[in-house]
Chain A
Amino acid sequence: MTNGWNDIANADVILAMGGNPAENHPVGFRWVMEAKRNRNAKLISVDPRFHRTAAVSDVYVPLRVGSDIAFLGGLIHYSLSKKRYNEEYVRHYTNAPLLIREGYSFNEADGVFSGWNAETKSYDKSSWNYELDGQGYAKIDEKMEHPRSVFQLMKHHYSRYTPEMVSKICGCSVAEFEKAAELITSTYTPDRAGTIMYALGWTHHSFSVQLIHAAAMLQLLLGNIGIAGGGLNALRGHANIQGGTDCGVAYHNVAGYIAMPKSDQTSLKQFLTAVTPKPLRPNSMNFWSNTDRFFVSQLKAYYGKTATAANEFGYQWHPKIPQAGTGYENWSWGFLFDAMYAGKMEGFLNFGMNPVSNGPNSKKAIAALSQLKWMVVAENFDQETSSFFKPEILATIDKKPADVQTEVFLLPAANFAEKDGTFTNSSRWIQWKWKAVDPPGLAKPDHEIIARLFLRIRELYQKDGGKFPDPIVNLNWWYSNPVEPSLDEVCKEINGWDLTTGNQLEKFLDCKADGTTLSGNWLYIGMYTGAGNLTQRRVNTDPTGLGRYPNWSFNWPANRRIMYNRCSADSKGKPWDAKRPTIAWNGEKWTGDVPDYKPDSAPEQGMGPFIMLPEGVARFFVPGQFVEGPFSEHYEPAESAVVNPLHPKTSSNPLVRRFSTPHDKLGEAKDYPIVCTTYRLTEHFHYWTKNNPYNMEIQPEFFIEIPEELAKDKGIANAQMVRITSARGSIEGKAMVTKRIKPLDINGQRVYQIGFPIHWGFLGRGSQKGSLANLVTPTILDPNSFAPEYKGFLVRLEKV
């Protein structure tokens, strides 16, 4: 979240789209209800289903699964064509006035951007960039009138997204769209704030990154980024999924969002040159210019005293992503399981994850696991992955336990209440929790399992030698209790300290590139300073009355509660809205929230407000970063019941990532005519609470939500057993015949949509019956984030 849960109470308009916050984040949703109660804020719910959020919304708009970019494009067009945007904000805080190179274009008939090579199905992205001056800075037209200014290009690009076109693609009526558009764009005035809450309904698409890009564009036009009650708020799914992302648990980056070293970055210097951006405007702070400090301090945390300037601080010990063709090997989830399926992996360690259930295409995952030599699962409960070798689960891929040679270790792990440590929530608050009880039986906390395993492996390397033992024996294992490192000590290390003085680092730039400081994750600097472990702070006073709670836990970055908050004030430094100030210039420095800016840089110096971007301003046009275009464009899901009305020739995302195993089949609308989506219920958490008797009591069985009209067509009665089948597999469950999903008219074609929640499977309490939702979902990936398209695929439906 750019803002935070509490801040939603400051909004005047809340758009819940690509998510169902009342269902999935009910307690966070309390702040929506506060805004409604106290400010008479308006909640707009845009979703294929009339769900729990829609039930308490002021405006509900139905739309077809996967048509969200068209809807947002329509809002962008509405804002631009009706001059409902904050012009001063757009001029000063975004790249709207910057000029784009000649040669950039979008082919409206074909639905592709300039540089498309139809044969190789790839882009030459060189035209998707700024026109630079002699000093390497982007050229600018402050009036935003130049035909190649981002503003004019954007206006032109979205001119196709008229209310009529939105209706044609999304299936809502023009009137429904316009009612929502009027309300959403009403926040372009300085005295109104609008927020967007989204979740997996946006990220689970083959165009998910571009979808969020479109939402960011809208919020920037309306001047809603950086202000109280505004922002673009990703409602993260799990207790510490934010922290896991921050701490580098992803193949493509290390902690603090620093890219993983690659095979052609053969020296530390080469690596740092490649990953450190150069400023693209003279007034850009370009904070990533400090990458060397952050990365060297991280290497020092990993390799301790053995990391020296002479050995590039251990850079060569750290793994690099191998080259593959013109790019690099991809080890993201979908690719990892594809490699495992192909027998390219031998071992697999799994801490509290259940990929058979929570990954796409369960059958492929089961088949992949059966190729492994060994697998370790540390868990609270037995689950579909740890027990994938059981006959009933292997039966889904027509195998028997005797066919599978995988050795499986199921290690009993402590749960949240049985260990301490910090979770980072969606508001980016890093909060300490305290251990309440010992784990049951022989269960152990994960850090002890990791430490014991690591120490045993290290012992073997020390004793017997082996391949490249250097990073193993040199790893900085300084903990007082090596077999069960104190999480307080680890927390200290993540923040880091000065190796000369021994003092904890207080702020980002305290860390150095010369090896005299150590910091496991620069982004978390400030959480454990000389003042102690600030993640344990529990001061719940709110002096501003705006829900900031500055002394509650620690809020990365730098205890800043609202990101990009320089934008909350106008170009003179005066808050856009005096009633909801975030920061203000007092003549000497910025006051209020911790400024996302150089604290003493006067407004007249005109420093760009987006300090992490080399332009210093936000990007409507994203130069070169995304693979399928610098502006978001509506593409259909990989499996779609309709052809893209904008450009039938390029109907779905041309760069979508897919695989070619027999499990990776895609279906066509003639065989699988119904659009299907998956989601979660408020009564359950993933595949975890199927072990909890009370959660099973309030939502006992897998079910499929079916529109009344479709049920009537098929002669399906409420609560009757039905089967849905996709090109990947089939699943049975009870029908829930409902008025809450309406058939839609898409470009003259009637489209039925159905959906079902995930949550059940093979193991758990009560009757699970193998109702595993992902038996039918495809491994189709977004080409930027590599997230699977769980939302929007094709099925057929029949009575059992």
Chain B
Amino acid sequence: MAGSTLELKRISAVSTAPPGVRETTVVSKYIDTTSCIGCKACEVACQQWNDLPPEVTVQFGTYQTLPDMTPSFWNLIRFEETEVDGAQAWLMRKDQCMHCADPGCLAACPAPSAIVQYVNGIVDFNQEHCIGCGYCMTGCPFNVPKLNKTTSKVYKCTLCVDRVSVGLEPACIKACPTGCLQFGSKPQMLHLAEQRVARLKENGFANAMVYDPPGVGGTGVVTVVAHGDRLASYGLPRDPSIPLAVTLWKKPLKWLGNLGMIAGVVVAGLHYLKFGSKPEPEAKEPEK
């Protein structure tokens, strides 16, 4: 994966494992919400590493930076003031792309190569191929991808693929002061999470749990919560899954591929009829 291309997983007309294939480990983030202090180091680390322009924000009566993630704000800590069993609580959870093993965004995406999943599990958007249709936003059960209306491209956390691909940890993970964020292989992160949950249960948090929802094949973000009975307080859906429409769109109807090929040809033909051949150089592109 180093450099700019994907590792090959399979090669056509070769039945054995392709020579030179490197072993790749599925990576994961670990978020222990019970040791998060909401310091927002991860928010700024993300902005800073990815050179994202600062958002113009306003104080809206909370410590939370923004109501939701934006096309240039991919990592948001959600704050919730509440009471648990009569005691005050201030819950904080780092929200970002969950890097699902079975990514709804990718399933929904109609643009070739715009969304990819690397063999290490990272789900990444390639904006140069993105057509801005927003289907990925519908496909995501966590409401993560955000459309930039000016560029008509959709953006989200890349899991710092540029860092991970050369052997570094993601920027948010490295920055985290309390160590509530960790990075490693998925089994390692699950192990950590299970240990932490056991400790929490020992300390009286009977509903402590590891959040790694099976509906999306598990996520590349393993989350520990103290109050598993109130996932909504953390902004986490209980049983996320890929919307049915998206599932239908991509899977059972795959056999319609033949039909699609014809449709594609027809569309291409219509295009030619309407616009003729591509003029050179192309005039300034009209914006929506």
Which residues of A are at the interface with B, using a C-beta cutoff of 8 A? Answer: 22-23, 26-27, 29-30, 33-34, 36-37, 40, 50, 52-56, 58, 60, 682-683, 693-703, 718-719, 734-740, 766
Whether the Cβ atoms of A30 and B179 lie closer than 8 Å is yes
Whether the Cβ atoms of A697 and B65 lie closer than 8 Å is yes
| B-chain residues with CB within 8 Å of residue A50 when the two chains form the complex | 88, 90
- Determine the distance from Cα of A26 to Cα of B176 in the docked complex, in whole angstroms: 9
| A-chain residues with CB within 8 Å of residue B38 when the two chains form the complex | 52, 55, 682
Whether, in the assembled complex, B277 has its beta carbon less than 8 Å from a beta carbon of chain A, the answer is no
Whether, in the assembled complex, B180 has its beta carbon less than 8 Å from a beta carbon of chain A, the answer is yes
Whether the Cβ atoms of A22 and B59 lie closer than 8 Å is no
Which stretch from B8-16, B41-49, B152-160 is at the chain A interface?
B41-49
Specify which of B59, B60, B90 is in contact with A54 (CB 8 Å cutoff).
B90
Shortest distance from the beta carbon of B67 to any chain A beta carbon, whole Å: 12
Shortest distance from the beta carbon of B140 to any chain A beta carbon, whole Å: 24
Whether the Cβ atoms of A682 and B40 lie closer than 8 Å is yes
- Determine the distance from Cα of A734 to Cα of B179 in the docked complex, in whole angstroms: 33
- 11 A-B pairs besides A30-B177, A52-B39 with CB distance below 8 A are A52-B37, A53-B37, A56-B35, A58-B203, A694-B44, A697-B55, A697-B57, A698-B44, A699-B59, A740-B81, A766-B56
| A-chain residues with CB within 8 Å of residue B81 when the two chains form the complex | 738-740
Whether the Cβ atoms of A22 and B39 lie closer than 8 Å is yes
Specify which of B58, B82, B178, B203 is in contact with A33 (CB 8 Å cutoff).
B178
| B-chain residues with CB within 8 Å of residue A33 when the two chains form the complex | 35, 178-180
Given contacts A40-B203, A682-B39, A682-B40, contact A55 B57 (CB under 8 A): no
Whether the Cβ atoms of B54 and A696 lie closer than 8 Å is yes
Whether, in the assembled complex, B83 has its beta carbon less than 8 Å from a beta carbon of chain A, the answer is yes
- Determine the distance from Cα of A132 to Cα of B126 in the docked complex, in whole angstroms: 82
Number of A-B contacts (CB under 8 A): 108
Whether, in the assembled complex, B199 has its beta carbon less than 8 Å from a beta carbon of chain A, the answer is yes
Whether the Cβ atoms of B65 and A698 lie closer than 8 Å is yes
- Determine the distance from Cα of A760 to Cα of B43 in the docked complex, in whole angstroms: 21
| A-chain residues with CB within 8 Å of residue B91 when the two chains form the complex | 55
- Determine the distance from Cα of A581 to Cα of B62 in the docked complex, in whole angstroms: 45
Count of B interface residues, CB-CB < 8 Å = 39
Interface members, chain B 10-53 (any A CB < 8 Å): 34-41, 43-44, 47-48
Whether, in the assembled complex, B270 has its beta carbon less than 8 Å from a beta carbon of chain A, the answer is no
Given contacts A56-B35, A698-B40, contact A719 B90 (CB under 8 A): no
- Determine the distance from Cα of A425 to Cα of B154 in the docked complex, in whole angstroms: 44
- Determine the distance from Cα of A701 to Cα of B57 in the docked complex, in whole angstroms: 9
| B-chain residues with CB within 8 Å of residue A734 when the two chains form the complex | 59, 61
Shortest distance from the beta carbon of B202 to any chain A beta carbon, whole Å: 8
| B-chain residues with CB within 8 Å of residue A737 when the two chains form the complex | 61
Shortest distance from the beta carbon of B29 to any chain A beta carbon, whole Å: 17
| A-chain residues with CB within 8 Å of residue B83 when the two chains form the complex | 739
Residue of B whose beta carbon sits closest to that of A720 = B61
| A-chain residues with CB within 8 Å of residue B98 when the two chains form the complex | none
Shortest distance from the beta carbon of A610 to any chain B beta carbon, whole Å: 34
| A-chain residues with CB within 8 Å of residue B36 when the two chains form the complex | 56
Given contacts A55-B89, A698-B40, contact A736 B35 (CB under 8 A): no
- Determine the distance from Cα of A766 to Cα of B39 in the docked complex, in whole angstroms: 21
Residue of A whose beta carbon sits closest to that of B202 = A40
Shortest distance from the beta carbon of B25 to any chain A beta carbon, whole Å: 24
Whether the Cβ atoms of A34 and B179 lie closer than 8 Å is yes
- Determine the distance from Cα of A55 to Cα of B88 in the docked complex, in whole angstroms: 8
| B-chain residues with CB within 8 Å of residue A683 when the two chains form the complex | 40
Whether, in the assembled complex, B92 has its beta carbon less than 8 Å from a beta carbon of chain A, the answer is yes
| B-chain residues with CB within 8 Å of residue A699 when the two chains form the complex | 59, 65
Whether the Cβ atoms of B37 and A693 lie closer than 8 Å is no
Interface members, chain B 249-263 (any A CB < 8 Å): none
Specify which of A54, A703, A719 is in contact with B88 (CB 8 Å cutoff).
A54
| B-chain residues with CB within 8 Å of residue A53 when the two chains form the complex | 37
Shortest distance from the beta carbon of B139 to any chain A beta carbon, whole Å: 29
| A-chain residues with CB within 8 Å of residue B88 when the two chains form the complex | 50, 54, 60, 739-740
- Determine the distance from Cα of A738 to Cα of B59 in the docked complex, in whole angstroms: 14
Whether the Cβ atoms of B47 and A697 lie closer than 8 Å is yes
| A-chain residues with CB within 8 Å of residue B61 when the two chains form the complex | 703, 718-719, 734-737
Residue of A whose beta carbon sits closest to that of B38 = A52
The contact sample of 5 A-B pairs, CB cut-off 8 A, is A23-B39, A40-B199, A40-B203, A696-B54, A718-B60
| A-chain residues with CB within 8 Å of residue B60 when the two chains form the complex | 718-719
Given contacts A30-B177, A698-B44, A740-B88, contact A56 B37 (CB under 8 A): yes
Whether the Cβ atoms of B178 and A55 lie closer than 8 Å is no
| A-chain residues with CB within 8 Å of residue B203 when the two chains form the complex | 40, 58
Residue of A whose beta carbon sits closest to that of B43 = A698
- Determine the distance from Cα of A668 to Cα of B6 in the docked complex, in whole angstroms: 71
Specify which of B35, B59, B90, B92 is in contact with A37 (CB 8 Å cutoff).
B35
Given contacts A22-B37, A55-B37, A736-B62, contact A698 B199 (CB under 8 A): no
Whether the Cβ atoms of A694 and B37 lie closer than 8 Å is no
Residue of B whose beta carbon sits closest to that of A739 = B81
| B-chain residues with CB within 8 Å of residue A736 when the two chains form the complex | 59, 61-62
Residue of B whose beta carbon sits closest to that of A62 = B88
| B-chain residues with CB within 8 Å of residue A36 when the two chains form the complex | 35
| B-chain residues with CB within 8 Å of residue A700 when the two chains form the complex | 56-59
Shortest distance from the beta carbon of A465 to any chain B beta carbon, whole Å: 56
Whether the Cβ atoms of A29 and B177 lie closer than 8 Å is yes
Whether the Cβ atoms of A55 and B92 lie closer than 8 Å is yes
Specify which of A58, A694, A735 is in contact with B54 (CB 8 Å cutoff).
A694
- Determine the distance from Cα of A53 to Cα of B90 in the docked complex, in whole angstroms: 10
- Determine the distance from Cα of A695 to Cα of B45 in the docked complex, in whole angstroms: 11
Whether the Cβ atoms of A26 and B178 lie closer than 8 Å is yes
Shortest distance from the beta carbon of B45 to any chain A beta carbon, whole Å: 10
- Determine the distance from Cα of A702 to Cα of B56 in the docked complex, in whole angstroms: 15
Shortest distance from the beta carbon of B59 to any chain A beta carbon, whole Å: 4
Residue of B whose beta carbon sits closest to that of A20 = B37
- Determine the distance from Cα of A701 to Cα of B58 in the docked complex, in whole angstroms: 7
